[in-house]
Chain A
Amino acid sequence: MALAQAPLLEIDQLEVEFRTETGPIVPVRGVSLRVDAGRTTALVGESGSGKSVTSLAIMGLLPRPFGRVLAGSIRFSRRNGEVVDLATVPPRGMRAFRGSEIAMIFQEPMTSLNPVLTIGEQIAEQVRLHLRLGREAAKSRAVDMLGLVEIPDARRRADEYPHQMSGGMRQRVMIALAMSCSPRLLIADEPTTALDVTIQAEILALIDRLRRENDMGVLFITHNLGVVAEIADVVTVMYAGEVVETAGVRDLFHHPRHPYTRALISCLPEHALRGEDGRRVVQAIPGSVAGSLDAPGCKFAPRCVHAVDACQAAHPQLDAVEPTHFVRCDRWRAL
């Protein structure tokens, strides 16, 4: 266990603000989470829950000039042991982290690669920048990386363009790109959502192998609890810009405390109940995230089957169930 050493990434009470034409909105409020070296933290939530904004805040890629970190800290422990708060690093300074110590892969492998540059060039470009390699050395490192992510005939494929590859191959290329400078932290934002199920399993296995071999921390963002069960060590569940529950993966699946987490788990197809006609019916959570954001009480209360009047009135705090299990629900003991 890596508990003794400082966490690789520790986000504390992060608040992000977007200025819009209709006034500021706060898509992420008071988010805390941690990622340890060699472990995977899954960040789970529906679309619009703030999970991708959280990841962009770590990378310093919030859309400028509209988005900014309003409060909180993002402590990252560097390769040389130094711990820096990424929230205070100026935009220019963030370039030294991006692609080098922190790498990111995205949901859309079809559009995340530059269509007019070869695969090899796109990887070599980053290698030359961060590892200060020459043109030839960078090119051969790019080929090595393509081999590492199990792309056959890497030397030839390095000279191909993205449109000559399938979606699964492109996501492998994105992973090769991300791994090319041996990052300490990999942020994977829904990396398998756009892929076929069989390809999805291969990509998950690949990310997991690279994490083990390189003692790399992974922040895995997804809305898919099935994927979480396969890959995560720790799970943080977000709802409407807040963390509602954090726990170890077993603990979370076996003893979910927050009604939202429970609802999410019961939505999994394998938990589908048999209906009156004997067929299995997949469950859904009624309502949507939007519309409850300005309410003073619990954000999930309008959709919660266990909600009482008190839930609408006061905003619940994150409460410790166990030392490693936190929940934001005033009624968790009663449920």
Chain B
Amino acid sequence: MFAAIVRKFAGMLVVMYIVATMVFFLTRLAPGDPASLMLGDQASLTDIEELRRTYGLDQPVIVQYILWLKEVVRGNLGQSIFLQRSVLQAIAERAEPTFFLALFSILIAAAIGIPAGIISAVWRGQRIDQVVSAGAMLAASIPSFWLGLLFIQFFSVRMGWFPVAGYGPPGGSFAERLYHLMLPASVLGIVNSALITRFTRGSMLDVLSEDYVRTARAKGLSEARIVLRHGLGNALVPIITVVGLTAALLVGGAIVTETVFGLPGIGNLVVSAVLRRDYPVIQGALIVIAGIYVLINLSIDVLYTFVDPRVKY
């Protein structure tokens, strides 16, 4: 088990290296130059050249790549071109809203999706199943930005229950900051619950027709125990997979929602870095996101062994 985790970890490092390399070259394929963007239309060519030299942008791309990779291996993601701070620092400052947004979103998505999927499977083909399935279809089809705007309009503007946008005033308390995440987390939770509902329903339907569920019935167990202990206990592997992958996507992919709700998260950081060709920030942020993605995948693999005794590494 321990050796297997070490092996997985080594595999992770390979994945990370490939991601870092791809990110480095892909960002440079995009047209645009940070030096000229930074200095504006009025800058002279010599000033631009000067700035390019400062950031090493005048070197051949392959040399830039090797220099950058050396630093990355030491844990130094470089300096932001625009933000006057290190990339790591910039990411650390933006990590909190993104992390808690992803956490609350996935909790809400699972809290809706898993019970809805179970109910749908148990009463398959009946009215409640049709209602749940239609709801899941609707949730999957709604764009999150539109649902976000709708929620802001209703819950913030009309009812005044939640702040319209932002992450609270500077120096605000932790609780206050989390309060600002409730509405965007609900939006992401609802939108992402659709996939979890469908996976849970499908997985439960497979399991509930298994012979051992019939055995459980033949034992005289209550329906609740049959469905939850014998059914859900066996349906968990695909459910964990989809919940984990959704969580991983949320860490890197809540860009639109962060924008709609004006949250200073990593999504926002990446978008503005892309617009300004702030290469070190783009590269650093994507590497961190990829790292989290890979870590979540590793945890899913480890979780399997607890859920299903047949899984061995």
Residues of A within 8 A of B (CB): 59, 61, 94-100, 103-104, 106, 108, 111-117, 125-126, 129-130, 161, 163, 174, 177
Complex Cα distance, B309 from A125, in Å, reads: 19
Whether A95 contacts B222 by the Cβ 8 Å rule is yes
Whether B212 contacts A115 by the Cβ 8 Å rule is yes
Chain A residue nearest to B309 (CB atoms) is: A161
Whether B212 contacts A113 by the Cβ 8 Å rule is yes
Whether B234 contacts A115 by the Cβ 8 Å rule is yes
Q: Does B214 contact A (CB under 8 A)?
A: yes
Q: Does B127 contact A (CB under 8 A)?
A: no
Residues of B within 8 A of A (CB): 210-212, 214-222, 229-230, 233-234, 307-310
Interface SS of B by simple majority: helix
Chain A residue nearest to B234 (CB atoms) is: A116
Cβ–Cβ < 8 Å partners of B215 in chain A: 106, 112-114, 174, 177
Whether B219 contacts A126 by the Cβ 8 Å rule is yes
Can you sample 8 A-B contacts with CB below 8 Å? A98-B217, A98-B218, A99-B220, A100-B220, A106-B218, A111-B211, A114-B216, A177-B215
Complex Cα distance, B201 from A163, in Å, reads: 26
Whether B211 contacts A106 by the Cβ 8 Å rule is yes
Complex Cα distance, B234 from A287, in Å, reads: 41
A191 to chain B minimum Cβ distance, whole angstroms, is 13
- What 9 A-B pairs have minimum CB-CB distances, sorted nearest first? A98-B220, A99-B220, A99-B219, A111-B211, A114-B212, A95-B220, A126-B219, A112-B211, A161-B309
A59 to chain B minimum Cβ distance, whole angstroms, is 6
Cβ–Cβ < 8 Å partners of B216 in chain A: 114
A207 to chain B minimum Cβ distance, whole angstroms, is 16
Given contacts A61-B218, A125-B221, 20 further A-B contacts (CB under 8 A): A59-B217, A95-B221, A98-B217, A99-B218, A99-B220, A99-B221, A104-B218, A106-B215, A112-B212, A112-B214, A112-B215, A114-B230, A115-B309, A116-B234, A126-B219, A126-B220, A161-B310, A163-B309, A174-B215, A177-B215
Cβ–Cβ < 8 Å partners of A116 in chain B: 233-234, 307-309
A247 to chain B minimum Cβ distance, whole angstroms, is 29
Cβ–Cβ < 8 Å partners of A59 in chain B: 217-218
Cβ–Cβ < 8 Å partners of A95 in chain B: 220-222
Complex Cα distance, B234 from A98, in Å, reads: 23
Q: Which of A103, A114, A117, A130 contacts B218 (CB 8 A)?
A: A103
Cβ–Cβ < 8 Å partners of A96 in chain B: 220
Complex Cα distance, B310 from A103, in Å, reads: 28
B226 to chain A minimum Cβ distance, whole angstroms, is 10
Interface SS of A by simple majority: loop
Q: Which of A108, A114, A177 contacts B234 (CB 8 A)?
A: A114
Chain B residue nearest to A126 (CB atoms) is: B219
Cβ–Cβ < 8 Å partners of B219 in chain A: 98-99, 125-126, 129, 177
Cβ–Cβ < 8 Å partners of A99 in chain B: 218-221
Q: Which of A94, A97, A125, A130 gathers most chain B CB within 10 Å?
A: A125
Whether A61 contacts B214 by the Cβ 8 Å rule is yes
B85 to chain A minimum Cβ distance, whole angstroms, is 49
Whether B307 contacts A129 by the Cβ 8 Å rule is no
- A129 in contact with B221 given A112-B212, A115-B309, A161-B310 (CB within 8 Å): yes
Chain A residue nearest to B210 (CB atoms) is: A111
Whether B218 contacts A163 by the Cβ 8 Å rule is no
Chain A residue nearest to B237 (CB atoms) is: A116
B285 to chain A minimum Cβ distance, whole angstroms, is 39
Complex Cα distance, B120 from A118, in Å, reads: 28
Q: Which of B210, B217, B230, B308 gathers most chain A CB within 10 Å?
A: B217
Chain A residue nearest to B233 (CB atoms) is: A116
A273 to chain B minimum Cβ distance, whole angstroms, is 39
Complex Cα distance, B220 from A59, in Å, reads: 10
Cβ–Cβ < 8 Å partners of B218 in chain A: 59, 61, 98-99, 103-104, 106
Q: Which of A115, A117, A129, A163 contacts B220 (CB 8 A)?
A: A129
- A115 in contact with B214 given A129-B219, A130-B220 (CB within 8 Å): no
Q: Which of A95, A103, A161 gathers most chain B CB within 10 Å?
A: A95
Complex Cα distance, B222 from A296, in Å, reads: 43
Complex Cα distance, B215 from A104, in Å, reads: 8
Complex Cα distance, B215 from A106, in Å, reads: 8
Cβ–Cβ < 8 Å partners of A125 in chain B: 219, 221
Cβ–Cβ < 8 Å partners of A98 in chain B: 217-220
Whether B233 contacts A117 by the Cβ 8 Å rule is yes
Cβ–Cβ < 8 Å partners of A115 in chain B: 212, 234, 308-310
B301 to chain A minimum Cβ distance, whole angstroms, is 17
Complex Cα distance, B217 from A97, in Å, reads: 11
Cβ–Cβ < 8 Å partners of A117 in chain B: 229-230, 233
Cβ–Cβ < 8 Å partners of B221 in chain A: 95, 99, 125-126, 129
